[in-house]
Each structure stands twice: as structure tokens, then as C-alpha cells.
Chain A
Amino acid sequence: MPYTAHTPSEVKEMLEVIGLQSEDELFSPIPNEAKAKAFDIPDGLDEWSAFDSFKELSKKNKVDKICFMGGGYYDHIIPSAVDALAGRSEFYTAYTPYQAEASQGTLQALYEYQSLACELSGMEISNASLYDGGTALAEAALMSVRITRRNKILIDGGVNPEYIKIIKTYLSFRDIEFEVIENIKDSSDIEKLKSKIDENIASYIFQNPNFFGSVQDFSEIVDILHSHKALAVMSSYPISLGILQDGGSLDVDIFCADGQSLGNYLNFGGPSFGMLATKQKYIRDVPGRIIGKTLDKNNKEMFVLTMQAREQHIRRHRATSNICTNQNLLALRATIFLSMLGKNGLVDMANMNYQKSEYLKSELSKIDGIDIYNDNPTFNEFIISTPKLATKLIDELNKKDFLLGVNMSKIYDGFDNKVLIATTEKRTKKEIDSLVNAIREVL
């Protein structure tokens, strides 16, 4: 049998020690009425047959196109060192670091992750990861309700629509009110926010760059929120923080992001991981694990899980969240990725995303019939309007081996001919030029 080692004589010996005759007797505590009525599972495969069949399956997925698709999930570089280190058994096959002395590797790496997350976000403290960017925002929303003891959340219409759905679901089961404040074109509607904000609002959740790719200055909004003692919750794109305003300098209260862009594969949407960073004064309301540095009995520095009185295994029904297993390995990958990128590398990479996207933007705007939809500056993605239906244009470019972008008509009303296009550092001038030519050909 694969992956078990017991020889028949060992089984016999072990059963004797237990005092049973057969392995079946091990299941004697299970009454007949609870026994399975069926178990129609195919026979097992050897690893080579399994590999071949999955390889065949994988070929039914079309991943060989040049990717200009973004929308929160990006085709960024992943240095080989990330796979090499995160793939090490010692990291990969460890459990949650409950026994501190036996888990100093994971614990220190996570402490470093928290530190990097703080540097990146400009915030004071960070947890050790949540599931993904969307659930992190939902947790942030719940956190803001706990902190303010208010019961309504406002959500900026520029937040990733997939995240908005998640936030709505989480809140709707808690009888917490929420309202989406739709954008005016690609801009947040400050006037509408002003008219909605009152003493019942726990927080306002916004995203920069927003789902349309637009970059805005949210400082006025943060001021408005704070003047009403409401919290500012920011959803961000980590790579953009190389050049864009960070959460700390905007004085936001809770910063969230999806960590896919930090050295993680697209994986059809998961696993990725969620970042949540905040102000020190809110630490008791933070969901998820936190790692701290302390001393051991001989006064040596060591790392431990800390502030655990917030968590489900201690606090049970009064916990800040039910989260247990998180996405540690992906946070480790981000730690390695950011350590390699370094202070200047992050800025260079962000700048390159911006520049390549601006180049694509200017080349596309030379084409008759194409309009750039965004009124605001953009970071590495923007929306084009074309004379063709988005679905058709995407399909035609598919045939030319381009993954053009997110079909906005599938998400928003009135976006029939709009596509969201992203350019990362990986796209070469040649690829960008060939995309522009291909679009010109089909229009």
C-alpha cells in the first residue's frame, strides 16, 4: 500500500499489544447504523500514470498566451530563489508553530514578514496573514465594527468587485448594514460619501489603485472619515507601493491587500494570502496570528506566537475571528520575494510597471476608435473603450495568443465595450508592440 510502512508481521505484533485479533476490530466502536452504505472509489494509480493523466488535464488549460490580464491578480516575476526556499521541506512540511523552540524558523520568518508588511504599508503592526485580499477586507470590516461599536459600513464602488461580494456576504449574516457608494466614472464620489457619513458609520473601505486601475489621493476622504470618528480601511496592491502613497502616510486605520503579486503564482485565484496591518492601538481587535519577539529563560532572544487571547483556541466564542489555518507559506514566499527585491528594487519594479503601462496606453490611444476610459492617472492598468464589444475583442485577440484583459461588461452595466488591461515588468516592448498591432488589425 502506498505511503504506509506496516509489514504483515508488524501489524500482527501491534494488534497483539493492543489486544485485538484483526484490524477490523479497531472499528468496533462504530455501530452498524453509522457504517458507510457505499464507497465506490476507483482503484489507485501509480505516480507515473497519475502524473501523465494530470499532465494531459493541464494541457486543456490555455496558459501559453501573452498575459495582459490583471484585476487584482498579476503576472509578475517570481525569482527562482522563492521556489527553492519556500519548497524546503523544513518550511513546507511544518505545522503551525505551536511549539516555539521547534519552530524558530517559521516564527522568525513570520516576524520578518510582519516587519516587511509594516514597511510596505507604512502601518505600525501587521498580523501573520489571512486567507486572501477579499476575506482580509471582510475581517477589517468586522474589526472596524468591533472598534467603533457602530453598525454600518460604506464601500467604495472602486473596490475589486470580487472583494465587494465577499464583504457583503460576511456582513449580511451579522446584520451589519452596508452600502456601496458607486464611483463617478473611475473616481470615488466624495460628495456622496459626505452625504452618507454620520455617527453610525464604522468604516469606509476604498481601494488604491481602484479596480478601474485609477490612482487617487484619498487624504481628503480619510480626513472626512476621521472627523466623524469612522475608520478608513484601505485595499492596496503591494507592488504599487513602490511608488504610490502608503497607508501609513495617508493615516488609514486598517490596511489590507492580496499578496499574490509578492512572489506567488496565479493558481487560478488561490492560494494567495491576505495582508492586514493596522495601528498599534487596535492590536487587540486584530484577527489571526501575531508573532512576537521575547526572551527565553536564559535571556536569549526567541520568537513566539503572541497576543493569543484574541484567538479561537483560547477565547473560543469570544474570539476576534474564527481563523486558524492561514496562508503562512504564501506569506513566507512574500518575505523571501521582498527580501530579494530590496528597498530600491521595489521602487524600480513599481516604476517599470507604471512606465510600461504608460507606453501601452500611449500606443493604444494612437489607434482610431480607442479611448482610454480613465480620467485619473493609472499605475499599471487602465480601461480601454473600443468600437467592438469587449467579448468579441477579447475573443479575437485570444486567437492571436493574447490574454487581453478583464471583460468589464461581465461586471458592470454599460461597460459593453470596455476591457481592463494590465502591463507588468514582465511584458517586453516587443510584446506590447505586437499587442498594439494585433488590436489595430482586428479593429
Chain B
Amino acid sequence: MNSKTIFEKSQENRVGIKLPPLDVDTSPILPEYLRRKAKAKLPELSEFDVIRHFTNLSSKNFSIDKNFYPLGSCTMKYNPKIIEKIASLEGFSSLHPHLITNDEEDSVQGALEVIDDLQNYLCEITGMEAFTTTPQAGAHGEMLGMMLIDSYHKEKNNKQKKYVIIPDSSHGTNPATVTMIGYKVITIKSDENGYMDFEEFKKKMNDEVAAVMLTVPNTLGIFNKKIKDLCDIAHEYDALMYYDGANMNAILGVVRPGDIGFDVMHINVHKTFATPHGGGGPGSGPVGVNHKLKEFLPDLGIYKKDDKYFFNKNMENSIGKISPFFGNYGISLRAIAYMKILGKEGMQNASKKAVLNANYILARLKPYFDVPYDMICMHECVLSAKSLKKKYEVSAMDIAKYLIDFNLHAPTVYFPLTVPEAIMIEPTETENKQSIDEFCDKMIEAVKLAETNPKEFLNYPKTLGVCRPDDTRAIKELDVRSIH
């Protein structure tokens, strides 16, 4: 397959853009010492060259519009096209953020209503008291959450607080965030049911614990039955409960973190509320809090008076800012548009079908794979290729590379870290039964292939032009930019 870079396609003095005319009298150029010495070596192409290059590149991608994409923990659902149409309305996309600096509320009433609507929906969906839309992704929300927690303890003069408890099944962003805010991680192992070990938790819980960060349902797709007890115990020590809401898609209308007693949470609206993931972003990770943390929220809010929206600035106890202005406003807009289209029943139905699909996959594949936690799962199920590995030396990665050869994106593999040879499958609600069956059939065929001809796996994928990158070489002979 042709993987020539855009630089290799460049032809000197070819031009891609006709700029608007330089229609003013010209002034002397800037003095030499301020000027760039050599031009940046950007490629020189026609518009059509560029179109063809990137169209060809795009054809080398799997995407949710084209492929079943059951990446666990990523909620790759279909993104309705109307949402993009709404987001590209000029009245939203061309709005200048410094209108906020200028306090020109009159020019941005529509935008502020979008934010207010989203915050209200999120409060109702989660049972939290207040939301901010400023975090730009889930991890950014976690960071803000930890800042709020730290502010709370500082204000209460809880000087002894140093630790944050996290289960070993947690997403990597959880511990990374804790360190970023200057706390230390206490990791608690999972018990035989996939829950955070309750006895161990009680043992580790003390006055020095600032917070407990839980993903609910967790990354094993399991709902912890003792969740309320965990909250109550943590609160006895004045530790705050953090809810990682990356997996909210499982429980819309069924569970609200605020009702259980969580103090702070983020929600990955780019997962649950259908923002296309763009090959890695942008996202948005609004943070919700209860009364304990409200006063510390980032220093730009909105309020409504006599049917008009105003900015709330210079909030006295605020942590300050973690993003410019309202964060990824364009993503907030997409989220609220999707929520309004789905409505109450649509959301409840989404969670039901997401959980139905995951359990159906689990039921169909149970006879063929190791199932570390054999129970009703939520929006995703985790299998293991441990026996395949042991018997036939066929790994989770081998299964993944086999699947992609049949236009099925692979599940998440090797995460959560607590499951050996983990295969984490999240089908989402938007997949129909036929595509799910096709996936299950392929998974079963993979097992058959392992039994009959395990060496064959090393040749997969066969049809994608490239097969099995040498990751060690990528690091040893580092090539992270074109030199031309």
C-alpha cells in the first residue's frame, strides 16, 4: 500500500490556496532581527493533491460509520448526523470567545442558554447539584475533581490528607491524575467478584485518605453492590467520593451518582452523548459536584436573572481556571443536542440496549473463552484468552489482529490490567443483532482456528496492507517526523 507522506508528494512552487487579495498600500517589512531566517518547509501541493492524499489516508481507517467498533471503555456508538448539522450552525461555530472577556452577554445569549441547558440536563441525569463544562476531556475532569477535593480539605484544614484510594481495575488516568495534583495512590485489589476488595478497603481507610475514586460500573463492566456502603464509610473519615463517569452509558435513568452519595464526578460526554471521537479527540468532561464543592468550581460560570443570562466571574473561592473560557463549547453543544433528541425514554432505552447487547455477547461467547467474572454485566463484558494462551499460545492480541482482518474493530485488549489476556468488549446500543452475531461468530471462529492451526494467527491481519508493527524498532530507531 502506498504510504508516501504528504512531503514526498510536494512539487516546488505548486500552490494550493488562492489567498484573498493584498488590497492595501504596503508598509516597510519588519526589521531583520525579528524575522524568520528560512521558510518553514511545508509541502507544496494543489488543492486536489491534498484532497486525494487525505481521502486515501482516510480509507485506511476503521471507523464507527464503517465498522463494528467494540472497544471496551470507549463507548463507540453511532453519532447521529443531525448533531453535526446543528453544531455547524454559524451562530455557534463563529462565536468569538473574547465576547466573554468583554462582558458582551447580549451577543451570546444563545450560547449561554446551550451551556445552561446542558448543565441542567447533566444535574438531572446524575443527581449532582452543579456542573461546569470547562474540562476538555475525561482526564481533565478528573484533574479538576481532584483540585476541588484538595481545595475542600485545605479549607477544612484537613492537613493530614495525603492519599487517594483507587481500585486496581481503574483506568490509567485515575492514578495519573492523583499524582498530578500532588496526592499519593493507594491501590486496592479486586476481589473474586471484580469488586474493590471490601475488607481491604476498610483496612486502608483512615483519616489520611482524601478521596476514593471509583468507576461505576467499573472497567470490568460490573456494578459494585456495596457502593452505598463504600460511600458511607469514606464519609465517616471525611474522604470525598469521586465518580469516574466514563461508563455512564450503562445506567442512564437507573442510577444517579448524586443519589448514592458521590461528592464529585466527571462524565465523558463524548462517549455517552455521541460526539464522534475524531480519531482521538476532541472530547469534553463536564464535572458535577454536590454542595460540599460548589464554591470551588472554575472561575467562569453563568447565572440567569429576569430571563437573561450573565457571566459569573471572579468567584471568590474558585480554584481558578483549567481551560480557556467554557472549555470545549462545541462539544457541549453536540451533547445537549443529542440529549434533547433522545429525551427520557431514548436515554433509558439506550442504556437498556447497551446492557442487553453486552450480556448477549457474554452469553454467546462464554462457552469459548475464560470468563473471569461470570455474572450479569453492564454495558461491557470482559473475557480472557488465558486458556488459549496456555494451550495454543494464542494471545488476546492475536485475536484482535484476526478480527480486524474481517472488518471488525478489535475489542480493547490487555485492559483492565487485573485480567490476564483481557478482551474487553463494549458493543453499545446502536449495534443491531446481526452485526453482533457476526462479531460473535468471528470470535468463535478464532477459537476454532486456535485449536486447529494456532501458528496461522501470526499472519493476521492479511488484507490491511500492513501487519504487526515492530514496536521495539519504533522506539529504538525513533522516527517521529519526516526529514525532507
Task: Tell me the complex Cα distance, A119–B10, Å.
Answer: 14
Q: Are B280 and A289 closer than 8 Å at their CB atoms?
A: yes
Most chain A CB within a 10 A radius of its CB, from B5, B34, B71, B340? B34
Most chain B CB within a 10 A radius of its CB, from A94, A110, A294, A358? A94
Q: Are B65 and A90 closer than 8 Å at their CB atoms?
A: yes
> A407 near B: Cβ within 8 Å?
yes
Task: Tell me the complex Cα distance, A317–B180, Å.
Answer: 8
A158-180 contacts to B, CB under 8 A, are 162-163, 165-166, 168-170, 172-175
Task: Tell me the complex Cα distance, A133–B79, Å.
Answer: 28
> A283 near B: Cβ within 8 Å?
yes
A104-B60, A313-B172 known; A43+B344 contact, CB < 8 A: yes
Which of chain A's residues have a CB closer than 8 A to the CB of B409?
Answer: 95, 99, 102
Q: Are B34 and A215 closer than 8 Å at their CB atoms?
A: yes
> B190 near A: Cβ within 8 Å?
no
Task: Tell me the complex Cα distance, A12–B90, Å.
Answer: 45
Q: Are B355 and A265 closer than 8 Å at their CB atoms?
A: no
Which of chain B's residues have a CB closer than 8 A to the CB of A69?
Answer: 96, 98-99
Q: Which of B270-278, B383-391, B447-455 contacts A (4 or more CB under 8 A)?
A: B270-278
B226-252 contacts to A, CB under 8 A, are 227-228, 251
Most chain A CB within a 10 A radius of its CB, from B20, B281, B343? B281
> A227 near B: Cβ within 8 Å?
no
Task: Tell me the complex Cα distance, A101–B270, Å.
Answer: 24
> B470 near A: Cβ within 8 Å?
yes
Most chain B CB within a 10 A radius of its CB, from A4, A35, A273, A426? A4
Q: Are B89 and A54 closer than 8 Å at their CB atoms?
A: yes
Nearest residue, chain B, Cβ from A363: B24
Per-residue CB proximity of B59-91 to A under 8 Å, as 1/0?
A: 111111111010100101111101011100111
> B420 near A: Cβ within 8 Å?
no
Contact of B94 among A35, A54, A63, A314 (CB under 8 A): A63
Q: Which of A14-22, A183-191, A194-202 contacts B (4 or more CB under 8 A)?
A: A14-22
Which of chain B's residues have a CB closer than 8 A to the CB of A92?
Answer: 63, 276, 278-279
By size class, the interface of chain B is: 35 or more
Which of chain A's residues have a CB closer than 8 A to the CB of B363?
Answer: 17-19
Q: Are B344 and A42 closer than 8 Å at their CB atoms?
A: yes
Q: Are A326 and B35 closer than 8 Å at their CB atoms?
A: no
CB distance from B408 to the nearest CB of A (A): 9
CB distance from A171 to the nearest CB of B (A): 10
> A304 near B: Cβ within 8 Å?
yes
Q: Are B478 and A306 closer than 8 Å at their CB atoms?
A: yes
Task: Tell me the complex Cα distance, A54–B84, Å.
Answer: 12
Nearest residue, chain A, Cβ from B349: A1
Nearest residue, chain A, Cβ from B347: A41
Contact of B137 among A29, A108, A323 (CB under 8 A): A323
Contact of A54 among B337, B400, B482 (CB under 8 A): B337
A59-B91, A293-B479 known; A36+B254 contact, CB < 8 A: yes
Per-residue CB proximity of A403-414 to B under 8 Å, as 1/0?
A: 100110011000
Q: Are A34 and B255 closer than 8 Å at their CB atoms?
A: yes
> B433 near A: Cβ within 8 Å?
yes
Which of chain A's residues have a CB closer than 8 A to the CB of B102?
Answer: 391, 394, 406-407, 410
Contact of B320 among A26, A30, A169 (CB under 8 A): A169
> A266 near B: Cβ within 8 Å?
yes
> B331 near A: Cβ within 8 Å?
yes
Per-residue CB proximity of B297-340 to A under 8 Å, as 1/0?
A: 00100000000000000000001111111111111000001011
Which of chain A's residues have a CB closer than 8 A to the CB of B36?
Answer: 241-246, 249
Task: Tell me the complex Cα distance, A420–B355, Å.
Answer: 53
Q: Are A322 and B139 closer than 8 Å at their CB atoms?
A: yes
Task: Tell me the complex Cα distance, A317–B104, Å.
Answer: 42
> A85 near B: Cβ within 8 Å?
yes
> A345 near B: Cβ within 8 Å?
yes
Which of chain B's residues have a CB closer than 8 A to the CB of A245?
Answer: 34-37
Q: Are A269 and B57 closer than 8 Å at their CB atoms?
A: no
Most chain B CB within a 10 A radius of its CB, from A20, A87, A104? A104
Contact of A266 among B97, B109, B179, B432 (CB under 8 A): B97
CB distance from B148 to the nearest CB of A (A): 10
Q: Are B329 and A119 closer than 8 Å at their CB atoms?
A: no
Q: Are B61 and A339 closer than 8 Å at their CB atoms?
A: no
CB distance from B31 to the nearest CB of A (A): 7
Per-residue CB proximity of B259-276 to A under 8 Å, as 1/0?
A: 110000000101000001
Q: Are A426 and B62 closer than 8 Å at their CB atoms?
A: no
Task: Tell me the complex Cα distance, A81–B254, Å.
Answer: 44
Nearest residue, chain B, Cβ from A163: B324
Per-residue CB proximity of B10-33 to A under 8 Å, as 1/0?
A: 100111110110111111011101
CB distance from B255 to the nearest CB of A (A): 6
Task: Tell me the complex Cα distance, A119–B430, Å.
Answer: 42
Nearest residue, chain B, Cβ from A42: B343
Task: Tell me the complex Cα distance, A312–B69, Å.
Answer: 23
> A383 near B: Cβ within 8 Å?
no
**What would be 15 A-B contacts, judged by CB atoms less than 8 Å apart?**
A2-B346, A47-B82, A79-B17, A91-B58, A97-B280, A102-B461, A129-B281, A249-B36, A268-B325, A268-B330, A270-B324, A270-B330, A271-B282, A339-B45, A355-B24
| Given A44-B344, A283-B478, 7 further pairs, Cβ under 8 A | A105-B57, A115-B5, A241-B36, A244-B36, A300-B467, A315-B172, A425-B20
Q: Which 9 residue pairs are nearest across A and B when measured between Cβ atoms?
A: A44-B343, A58-B91, A329-B278, A269-B97, A328-B280, A60-B110, A269-B325, A169-B320, A105-B61
